[in-house]
Every structure is written in structure tokens, then in C-alpha cells.
Structure 1
Amino acid sequence: MEITPAHTLNLSGIISTSKAIVKTNYSHFLALSLFFLPLSISLIIAPTLRLSDHFFTVDLFHKFPPNHHKDAISHLVYILLIYVSTLSAIATISYSTYHGFAGKQVNFLTALKSLTFSILPIITTAIVAHTLLFLISLSFLLFVGVILTLAQSLGFAIDHNSIYFIPFSALVGAMLIAIVVYFHLNWSLAFVVVVAESKWGLTPLIRSSYLVKGMRSVSLLLLLYFGIFSGILVWLYADTVYRQALSGHSYVLFTMLGSFFLMLFFLRSTAASTVLYMYCKAMHGELELEIAEGFSHDYINLPSDVEKVPQIVPVVAV
């Protein structure tokens, strides 16, 4: 066992703690992160799909009338496989990080076995979250539409070619993004709740919203930290792969290299989200309750005089 240094509940503490947990059993986490590989490859090679008239063309169905149904089905199956594989990675890595935080060793087979209990609840929770987010976004857009219709009925002329309409559209788009980000922050711990607390559906979303209270700024910084760097990585390697595809040189090499680094970013992001879950529980005093009940005796919760928030000493297995 190795006790990592105490950290206050902030971004640097989450990143350093998650890094320490992954480092203690790097081969284990690396093997689990292979579930992210299909998503990583798809993101890297996406620009090269422009090289083929078979993808994303307006006259796709006219060019391939006999097989367009099969093509649509195969694309849908491909997307579903990537989605399930990504959720499997989140489930197994969250499971391993959750137990690794407490110093409990988890082998590869045990992590895979945990999928039998968590994959369907995670899929159900994801469907509920996506459905609610779609309905919320749709409601917002309908509300904007009602406002515009009401303005027209009151005699206001709305010119879609006006120079004022473009800033208005940008404002509406920014507000919609802000709404999506807000709910993402509130539900950022939902999948970890599914794995750690065996909840599913709407319950993990409500539970996540409760836990993240007081830590939304940290959750936002975590989203920006991994989101920006992952976006830059995708942009750099995707552009490189596209150029290599045009010239016919080292296409596979750059694709696999970019996919590997992106896979590692997803691994670190998932582990950090699990650590954030533990930090949020400490913020609400729930780790102390678990220690009292003997649920997880490896947690050490120390009081802190800095900003009156607890410090956590995670015990990770070597």
C-alpha cells in the first residue's frame, strides 16, 4: 500500500490523485482503455472520410440504390458498437479507479466481470440523460421560436438577412451551449454513481446533481482541461492523417499513434471523474459515514483549516 499526499478539493488534487492511481497499476488501466480505441480511431480518421464518395454525400442513395439500406444499417451498427465500447471503458475504468482509491487491488478479469452488473444500467442511464438533454434543448428552441412568433404577431418585422439577426442567432446558440454544459456538469458523475452505488436511470442523474454542488467550478475546469487538450490532439493528428491519406504515406502509423494518445486522454479523464466523485463525497461528509460503517476502512479523511474543506489521503495499491 502507498499513501499519496493529501490534497484539498481542487483540480490539481484530482489530477494528481487520478494520475497516482493509474500509475500504480498502469498495465491494468491501459488494457481497460483499449475499449476507448474504436472511438479514438473514429475521431482521428473522420476527416479522411471526405476522400470517399461513399460517405457523407448528398446523392449517396442515388449512387447506391440497391445497397443503401444495408449501408445505413451497417453505419448504425458501427456507431452502436463504438458507443457500447466507450461505455464499457467508462464502467471498467471507473470501477478500477473507485477501488484503487481505497487501496483495493482489482485485476483485469474482475473489472471485466463488473460489466455484467454495470453495462445495462449505464446504457439505460445514458439513454435517459440523452433523452432529457434533447427534450430540454428542444424546449429551449421552441421557446425561442414562440418569442419570435409573438414578436411578429405584435408587428415587429424580423428580417433573417438583417445584420442584427446573426448576433441574435449567435446569442441563442451560446445560450443553448451554456444550457447543455450546465446539465453536463450536473450529470458528470452519473456513470460513476451507477458503478459505485448500483443505481440506474434517472436516480444517478439526481444523485450526481446533489454531489457536484459546491464543486461545479472544479468539474468545469476538469471538462475544459481534458476537453481542450483532447480537442487539440484530435485536430493535430486528424489533420496529419488526412494529409498522409492524400499523399499515401504513413497513414496507418499516424492513425494508430494519434488514437493511442487520445485513448490515454480518455483514460485519464475517466479516472479523474471517479476521483472527483470521491472528493464530492468527502465534501458532503459521506466518506466519514462509510468509515464509521466499516464499508471502506482504507479511506483516511483528515480535517483541513484551509477554506474549511476536508483533505483526502487516498490509499492506492502498489
Structure 2
Amino acid sequence: MATPMTPAHTLNLYGVLSESKRIVNAHSRHFLALSLLFLLPLSCSIIILPALRLPIARSDVFSGVADHALISPQTLIFPIIYTLIVYILSICALASITHSTYHGFYGRSVKLFPAIKSIVFSFFPLVSTAIAAKFILFLISLSFLMFVVVIVKLAQNLGFVIDYNSSYFIWFCGFLGVILSLVMVYFQVNWGLSSVVAVTESKWGFEPLWRSSYLVNGMRSVSLSLLFVFGVLIVFLVWIGMNSLLDFGTIDEWRSFDFFLQTMITSGFLSFLTLLLLHYTAANTVLYMYCKALHGELAIEIAEEFAREYVSLPFDDAKTPHVVTVVSA
């Protein structure tokens, strides 16, 4: 029996968001389970733990014990544990959701156990890729710092007096800061697909970075838009959520209406942040598939999937892959 054709998506931000939403909705219970397992604890770690720690840090500063506590091993325990929790949850969420979205794009069966199992195989590629990216960004930041030092020393050797509090020096540092930020954004846009490459192609180290830079060529505007839209929303939600959580300290009675209202507001922020992280990860995976289509790598794979998977009934239109076409202008 002939397979009904699904509408083709254009290679733009709307197409990426529409396709990722379709995949998530088609497997809503599966992605809900993954969100509860990894993304909701990650959201709590991002919002709740720093908000609970902030009043303690403030009290240490105002009590005058911070100078001694900063160098004590006890002070380093919380940041280390917190970083490990956030990083492990991020790796698990990236691996499982990317794996599920990738298979959902082809219309394959999406199950919880294979998604969790993919974490084992994707853990090292994701970690090694993140280390490689951080190493390059560290070298870039160090180069900018050395450039500032060289400029300052050169000016001093030429007889100029450098006033570090002057507005000119502050504007100079601000200008370099903007340039450095733009460079970081450029690399982030080019490397945006590196985590998807690490999961789906089992590449690791620097290779996913180069592979991502190749794939995103021609789709940088979409990658930048995706990064900007979700980045702004996620940062805004985290900032508002942390400020909302800090208001708990002003509530004296836990049975009061204010406490109930504040609990509902914080729960809402956690839920929205979880949804944003889910859809961002799914959209990034769909962007990877669209980039492959743009480079002519997806046509054969889609043909194989149709030939192998979609010859039997019943036919579920919501879970079938959409045909991706590239039209030359």
C-alpha cells in the first residue's frame, strides 16, 4: 500500500521548531518520562540549589568569615558536587533526548530503555567533545588576555602612563570584551551540533566540532536564531525563578497563602524551564537532520527508512518522518 506523503518543511527556524514539536507530541509519554528523569532534576539544580546557597554566601560575607571560608576544603565541596550533578544530568538528558529525537525523526519506535542505554555509549563522546571545546575556548580567551597585556606593556614602554581607572581604558576593555563575546558566539553557533554528532555518529574529541562546523554551513542563521531564542528564554526563566525562590525567606508561616502561591509560582518556573530544555534539545537534533539534508546526506537514509520500515499497517501519520526537500533559489 502506498505511503501517504507528509508536508515538506522548509529549512528555516519555523520548520525546525515545527518538526521538533511534532516528534515530541508524537511520543509525549516517552519524552515526559525522560524529562522527569533528567530535565526536571536539572531544572531544580539550576534554580533551587544556587538560590538556597546564595543567602548562606551572603551571610558569610557580611559576617566577615568569607575570607577564611573561601580557601577551606568545606567551601569547595558544594561547588564541586553541584557542578558534577548539573554536568551528569546534562549529559544524560542530552544523550537520551537526542537519541530519541533522532529515531523519532525517522519514525522508528522510541522506547525508554534504549534511550537510557544510549547514555552509556554517548557519555565518553559527549565529555571528550565538551573538553575539546572548552580547551579551544580557553586558548582563545588566553590569547585575548595576552593581547591586552602586550598592548599595555607596549604603551608603557613607549612612555604612556596607563590609568587603569580612566574611562578610555574601561572602554578599551569593554570593546575587547564585546569582540571576545562575539567570537564565543560564533564558535557556539558553529559547534551547536557537536553534541548531536557525538551521540548519533559516535564521534568524540575534536572531530564532532569540525563535523558540526561543516554541517552548519548554510544554516548558521537558523543555528544562531535557535541559540538566541532558547538562550534568552532559559536565562530569563532562571533569573526570575531564582529571584522568586529567594522570596521564600520573607515568608514566616508555611501554611499561609503567600507560601502556597510562591510554591505554585516556583513549580511553574521549573515546569517551563524543563519544557524549554526539552524542546531546545529536540530542535537542535532536528536542525542536525536538516543540515544533513542541505548537504545531501539525508536522501539515501530517508529512502532506506521508507523501504524498510513503512510497508506495514497500521499507519500513524504523527510518527512518520516528514520529507525534507532542498529547493535551490
Query: Shared topology, TM-score over 0.5?
Result: yes
Compared CA separation, residues 165 and 123, structure 1 to 2 (3 A): same
Task: Give how far 1:247 is off.
Answer: 2.1
Please name the residue that 2:111 is paired with. 107
Please name the residue that 1:313 is paired with. none
CA deviation map 1:91-146 (0-9, x unaligned) = 11000000100101111111001112111211111111112211211112212221
2:222 matches 1:218: yes
Q: Percent identity?
A: 47
User: How far apart in 2 are the matches of 1:2 and 1:96?
Assistant: 24
Compared CA separation, residues 281 and 302, structure 1 to 2 (3 A): closer
Give the TM-score taking structure 1 as reference length. 0.86
Amino acid at match of 1:9: L
Amino acid at match of 1:84: I
Task: Give the total of aligned pairs.
Answer: 304
User: How far apart in 2 are the matches of 1:281 and 1:140?
Assistant: 34
Aligned counterpart in structure 1 of residue 291 of structure 2, from 247, 265, 280: 280
Please name the residue that 2:242 is paired with. 238
Aligned counterpart in structure 2 of residue 40 of structure 1, from 38, 43, 57: 43
| Residue correspondence of structure 1 range 160-175 to structure 2 within 5 A | 160-175=164-179
Residue 167 of structure 2 aligns to a residue whose secondary structure is coil
The answer for unaligned runs of 5 or more in structure 1 is 309-318
Compared CA separation, residues 163 and 2, structure 1 to 2 (3 A): farther
Please name the residue that 1:229 is paired with. 233
Amino acid at match of 1:140: F
2:279 matches 1:255: no
Please name the residue that 1:89 is paired with. 93
Q: Is the 8 A contact 2:44 2:270 kept in 1?
A: yes
CA deviation map 1:208-254 (0-9, x unaligned) = 01101111111110011111112222222222211233225245544
Compared CA separation, residues 32 and 3, structure 1 to 2 (3 A): farther
Task: Give how far 1:151 is off.
Answer: 2.2
Q: Is the 8 A contact 1:44 1:255 kept in 2?
A: no
Q: Is the 8 A contact 2:6 2:323 kept in 1?
A: no
Please name the residue that 1:5 is paired with. 7
User: How far apart in 1 are the matches of 2:52 and 2:148?
Assistant: 37
| Residue correspondence of structure 1 range 1-318 to structure 2 within 5 A | 5-34=7-36, 35-45=38-48, 46-53=50-57, 57=61, 59-60=65-66, 62=68, 68-248=72-252, 249-250=259-260, 252-291=263-302, 294=304, 301=323, 303-305=325-327, 307-308=328-329
Compared CA separation, residues 146 and 64, structure 1 to 2 (3 A): closer
User: How far apart in 1 are the matches of 2:53 and 2:82?
Assistant: 15
CA deviation map 1:34-68 (0-9, x unaligned) = 31233312332334433224887473473699xx4
Compared CA separation, residues 300 and 263, structure 1 to 2 (3 A): closer
Residue 157 of structure 1 aligns to a residue whose secondary structure is coil
Q: Is the 8 A contact 2:8 2:325 kept in 1?
A: no
Residue 298 of structure 2 aligns to a residue whose secondary structure is helix
**For structure 1, which segment, 231-240 or 190-199, has the greater mean C-alpha deviation from structure 2 after superposition?**
231-240
Amino acid at match of 2:68: H
Amino acid at match of 1:23: N
Q: Is the 8 A contact 2:293 2:325 kept in 1?
A: no
**Looking at CA atoms only, which structure, 1 or 2, has the larger radius of gyration?**
2
User: How far apart in 2 are the matches of 1:139 and 1:62?
Assistant: 33
Q: Is the 8 A contact 1:36 1:85 kept in 2?
A: yes
